[in-house]
């Protein structure tokens, strides 16, 4: 009876045998079959692992026989002997499951060393120190991963002996001290296992193989599989590979290389190497490696071989490779190859180049730029070499990316003034409110001591592409003294700081920034992305300037145009305040009549930019008290301006005050109480559209969006009210106009009764910021006070305001989509919350079947790329690797 095959020499397997040989084994087989010089070795199958468990965790005789047989073949191929004293074969032992998985056993290198073979190695390499160091590392790692002796016992011993010799760095260890360490290590092992460290190399190997098998069932691995729904019965393979040595001779060496430049993306070999050295030497930093092109002079044939092979590997793997190689006595070996990490710029260039070279198709090229890297391309940054050694003076949440330096100022007005004088400014506040808009427009960056990823500062800054860091907890502001205390240091207004909105780091002083120029390749990539986009990307913008920016970035419409910021201009804020302070409807309507032309002009300007693309305008949303002054000085000023008593303003403010404004009198609740506000806005939207239609001879269809709806009857009433007002306006202008009225779906209840709401809605637009707040009961303004606890303790996998919560909020969204479409199969559904510009959230929206995402202009490219990649991965899912 033919026995089952449990071991495969590398050249016996192939790339498709992932289930049997694991990912690493299949990959090694692939390289071996391609004729690449991979050190000899073999893989023990996952089936062997599974049978090991069935066999009460014993290695069967048949498996042992096949291991011995394979090892013998390796000995023959390498002309070395395992445990032999002539030319000892050393091996590495690694796990390799079909699915990459943390928690599995680490690599054991140099297995086969013992008190005897170490001497031979010293002699062969002519480097006793290297041999001894390899041996002490082997004992340490074997004890850790196979014998499970706590790592720190060895670390303590090492530190102790280093201290005795007065050494600080590991590379100072000499032969004498290494011998002492090895002796010490062996003692530790003996204390634990009550026998000497294993000198029988076959015992070493057997134990290492069993340790790999066992690590399949260790707790971390089990939890990981549970979490990711990976079957526990897959098992892991074990890879046993002969070691090669770059320090055998002067015709030996070791190095790493990239098949293209990972910083610029240029098509040139890029790397470094050391003659007569092992990988460890490079890491230890004892000697300075040489640039790779030097190798073409020192060992031209080897270089040529290397060059030809790695270029073939690149084509074969269809991606830039990061390769580790070793030369042993003039013979080249490849120890590892993997896709190379690269900068945003390089990723972009390589993707386009490889498409142009015919190596990859367009879809694959699209997947080769990480969406998050897009931000690097669009925003200025600090030189990494400059900041890598700097200690940040504060760290907050990276609310809006990019790097900037500037002088600190504590209020919007001063920022606007100083910026007018040509200064670079950074606006520092506890938090921002709509009153700070002017300052946010003129500063280079915004820094707040409180607030989370969806606080006012974060949302608005992101919208205008302004750099922003929020929730810097170690910053204390003293508005009176005009000072900021960051950590222990006092900064006065006018002092310089530098901020990195991509990391949340704040630095002392002025650090220069580098501005990246958006390359043409980026535009090419975006064009490709559009070809594969199955979901629209719109923009969240409030004015014509940003609308133009959004168009430039390829927005297909405006998903959210907030109207509240429009009320904060110099004169109009007074009319707004007059409206709020009105005692009766007549006065209120008079004030609204004054606001009407402002609104109309704002809308007209936006329509002029967007033309016939959809512009979704959200009617007034924030509670009215946000528009009233908050300081005694401002109250005084307003009282004088409006010619009313300060007391009136204070009393009205007080009567509008709320315990929980987020859950208060805002959104469409305002229009239930004061219908005239929405009526004015509806008229302005419609007449603006009609005028622009007439001016440009186009056909704008306004999209009117009602916020914070909770019941069908509320919506029915408001829709009726708006329809009456709008139709009256259209008639009075003797015009024709189609328009849509839809809703923000942003309360849990709106999701729960979405069928009822769909009856009266032309579209749904998820406001996931508010929806997240209410679903969790997390106030976005207060969450930063305890979010650290939740994130650092992994109670939350991520900030739900930054990344959409699939399990909770997502369930509500899905429910609303299903119910809404059940009533209106073609209901247009999108998302306009901050999540619309975050990779994972965009993917979730795609999964939920939304028609579009809407995000701030600077995130449009990212969103487009995410969507295109989602489509691409779907198309590539039956891949040909």
Q: Check 49, 442, 443, 456 and give the catalytic one.
A: 456
Backbone angles phi, psi at 403, to 5 degrees: -115, 145
Of the pair 665, 728, the CB lying nearest a second copy is at: 665
Q: Quote the least distance from Cβ 712 to a second copy, whole Å.
A: 9
Say whether 630 is catalytic.
Answer: no
Q: Which of 24, 17, 21, 48 is nearest to 38 (CA)?
A: 24
Q: Check 49, 668, 832, 855 and give the catalytic one.
A: 832
Of the pair 84, 661, the CB lying nearest a second copy is at: 661
Q: Residue 328's beta-bridge partner residues?
A: 331
Q: Which residue has the tokens 């394979």?
A: 70
Q: Quote the least distance from Cβ 807 to a second copy, whole Å.
A: 6
Question: Strands 425-429 and 381-382: what pairing?
Answer: unpaired
Say whether 456 is catalytic.
Answer: yes
- 806 Cα distance to chain centroid: 17
Of the pair 331, 717, the CB lying nearest a second copy is at: 717
Of the pair 168, 659, the CB lying nearest a second copy is at: 659
DSSP state of 743: E
Q: Quote the least distance from Cβ 746 to a second copy, whole Å.
A: 8
By the 8 A CB rule, do 218 and 240 touch?
Answer: no
CA dihedral 672, 673, 675, 680 (to 10 degrees): -120
Of the pair 21, 477, the CB lying nearest a second copy is at: 477
**Residue 476: HSE in the Cβ half-sphere, 13 Å Cα cutoff:** 7
Of the pair 691, 756, the CB lying nearest a second copy is at: 756
Of the pair 559, 748, the CB lying nearest a second copy is at: 748
- 625 Cα distance to chain centroid: 37
Of the pair 523, 654, the CB lying nearest a second copy is at: 654
d(CA 90, CA 1): 34
CB contact set of 102 (below 8 Å; sequence gap of 6+):
220, 221, 224
Q: Quote the least distance from Cβ 742 to a second copy, whole Å.
A: 18
Residue ranges binding a second copy (CB under 8 A): 658-665, 667, 669, 672-673, 708, 710-711, 713-714, 717, 746-749, 752-753, 756, 770, 773-779, 781-782, 785-786, 789-790, 793-796, 805, 807-809, 811-812
By the 8 A CB rule, do 813 and 497 touch?
Answer: no
Of the pair 643, 660, the CB lying nearest a second copy is at: 660
Q: Which residue has the tokens 């990391």?
A: 503
Q: Quote the least distance from Cβ 621 to a second copy, whole Å.
A: 12
By the 8 A CB rule, do 141 and 158 touch?
Answer: no
Q: Quote the least distance from Cβ 616 to a second copy, whole Å.
A: 21
- Tokens at residue 179, please? 């011998």
Q: Which residue stretches of 173-285 are H helix?
A: 175-193, 201-215, 219-227, 279-284
Taking each helix axis as running N to C, give the angle between helix 572-581 and helix 632-642, from 0 to 180 degrees, rounded to the nearest 10: 90
Q: Residue 483's beta-bridge partner residues?
A: 478, 492
Q: Which residue stretches of 611-645 are H helix?
A: 632-642
First to last CA, the chain: 34
d(CA 42, CA 71): 8
Q: Quote the least distance from Cβ 811 to a second copy, whole Å.
A: 5
**Sign of dihedral through CA atoms 427, 432, 435, 441?**
positive
d(CA 379, CA 404): 10
d(CA 619, CA 634): 27
Catalytically annotated residues: 456, 832
């Amino acid at each position: 009876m033919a026995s089952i095959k449990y071991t495969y020499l590398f050249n016996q397997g192939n790339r498709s045998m992932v289930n049997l040989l694991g990912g690493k084994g299949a990959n090694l087989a692939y390289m071996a079959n391609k004729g690449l010089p991979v050190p000899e070795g073999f893989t023990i199958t996952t089936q062997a692992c599974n049978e090991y468990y069935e066999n009460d965790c014993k290695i069967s005789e048949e498996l042992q026989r096949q291991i011995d047989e394979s090892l013998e073949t390796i000995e023959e191929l390498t002309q070395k002997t395992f445990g032999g004293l002539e030319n000892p074969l050393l091996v590495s032992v690694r796990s390799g499951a079909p699915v990459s998985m943390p928690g599995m056993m680490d690599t054991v290198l140099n297995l086969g060393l013992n008190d005897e073979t170490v001497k031979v190695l010293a002699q062969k390499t002519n480097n006793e120190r290297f041999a001894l160091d390899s041996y002490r590392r082997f004992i340490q790692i074997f004890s850790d991963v196979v014998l499970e002796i706590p790592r720190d016992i060895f670390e303590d011993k090492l530190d102790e002996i280093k201290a005795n010799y007065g050494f600080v760095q590991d590379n100072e260890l000499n032969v004498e001290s290494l011998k002492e360490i090895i002796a010490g290590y062996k003692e530790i092992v003996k204390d634990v296992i009550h026998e000497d460290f294993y000198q029988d190399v076959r015992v070493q190997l057997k134990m290492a193989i069993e340790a790999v098998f066992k690590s399949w069932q260790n707790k971390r691995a089990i939890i990981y599989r549970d979490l990711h729904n990976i079957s526990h019965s897959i098992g892991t393979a074990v890879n046993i590979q002969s070691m090669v040595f770059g320090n055998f001779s002067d015709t030996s060496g070791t190095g790493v290389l990239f098949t293209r430049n990972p910083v610029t993306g240029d098509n040139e070999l890029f790397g470094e190497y050391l003659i007569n050295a092992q990988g460890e030497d490079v890491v230890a930093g004892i000697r300075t490696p040489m640039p790779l092109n030097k190798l073409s002079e020192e060992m031209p044939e080897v270089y040529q071989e290397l060059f030809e092979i790695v270029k073939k590997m690149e084509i074969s793997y269809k991606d830039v490779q990061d390769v580790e190689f070793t030369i042993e006595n003039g013979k080249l070996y490849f120890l590892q190859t993997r896709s190379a990490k690269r900068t945003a710029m390089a990723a972009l260039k390589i993707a386009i180049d490889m498409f142009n070279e015919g190596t990859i198709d367009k879809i694959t090229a699209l997947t080769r730029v990480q969406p998050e890297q897009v931000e690097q391309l669009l925003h200025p940054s600090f030189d990494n070499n400059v900041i890598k050694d700097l200690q940040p003076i504060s760290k907050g949440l990276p609310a809006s990316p990019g790097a900037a330096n500037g002088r600190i100022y504590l209020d919007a007005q001063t920022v606007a003034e100083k910026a007018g004088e040509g200064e670079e400014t950074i606006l520092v506040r506890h938090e921002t409110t709509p009153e700070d808009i002017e300052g946010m427009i003129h500063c280079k960056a915004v820094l707040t001591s409180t607030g989370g990823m969806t606080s006012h500062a974060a949302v608005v800054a992101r919208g205008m592409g302004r750099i922003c860091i929020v929730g810097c907890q170690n910053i204390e502001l003293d508005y009176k003294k005009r000072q900021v205390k960051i950590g222990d240091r006092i900064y006065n207004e006018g002092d310089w700081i530098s901020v990195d909105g991509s990391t949340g780091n704040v630095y002392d002083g002025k650090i220069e920034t580098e501005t990246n120029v958006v390359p043409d390749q980026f535009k090419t990539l975006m064009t490709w992305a559009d070809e594969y986009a199955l979901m629209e990307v719109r923009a969240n913008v409030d004015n014509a300037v940003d609308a133009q920016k959004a168009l430039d970035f390829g927005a297909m419409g405006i998903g959210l145009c907030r109207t509240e910021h429009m009320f904060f201009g110099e004169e109009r804020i007074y009319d707004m305040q007059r409206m709020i302070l009105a005692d009766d409807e007549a006065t209120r309507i008079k004030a609204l009549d004054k606001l009407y032309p402002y609104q109309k002009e704002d809308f007209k300007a936006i329509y002029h930019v967007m033309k016939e693309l959809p512009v979704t305008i959200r009617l007034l949303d924030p509670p009215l008290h946000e528009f009233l002054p908050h300081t005694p000085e401002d109250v005084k000023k307003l009282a004088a301006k409006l010619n009313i008593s300060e007391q009136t303003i204070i009393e009205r403010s007080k009567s509008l005050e709320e315990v929980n404004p987020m859950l208060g009198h805002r959104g469409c609740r305002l229009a239930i109480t004061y219908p005239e506000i929405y009526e004015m806005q509806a008229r302005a939207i419609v007449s603006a559209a009609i005028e622009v239609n007439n001016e440009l001879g186009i056909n704008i269809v306004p999209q009117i969006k009602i916020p914070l709806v909770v019941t069908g009857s509320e919506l029915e009433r408001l829709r009726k009210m708006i329809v009456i007002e709008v139709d009256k306006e259209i008639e009075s202008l003797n015009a024709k106009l189609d328009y849509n009225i839809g809703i923000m779906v942003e309360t849990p209840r709106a999701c729960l009764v979405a069928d009822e709401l769909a009856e009266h809605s032309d579209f749904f637009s998820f406001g996931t910021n508010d929806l997240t707040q209410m679903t969790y009961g997390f106030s976005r303004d207060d969450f930063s006070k305890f979010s650290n606890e939740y994130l650092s303790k992994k109670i939350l996998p991520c900030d739900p305001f930054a990344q959409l919560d699939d399990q909770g909020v997502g369930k509500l969204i899905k429910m609303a989509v299903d119910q809404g479409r059940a009533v209106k199969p073609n209901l247009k559904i999108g998302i306009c919350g901050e999540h619309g510009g975050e990779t994972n959230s965009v993917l979730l929206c795609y999964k939920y079947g939304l028609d579009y995402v809407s995000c701030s202009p600077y995130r449009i490219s990212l969103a487009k790329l995410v969507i295109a990649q989602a489509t691409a991965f779907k198309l590539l899912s039956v891949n040909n690797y």
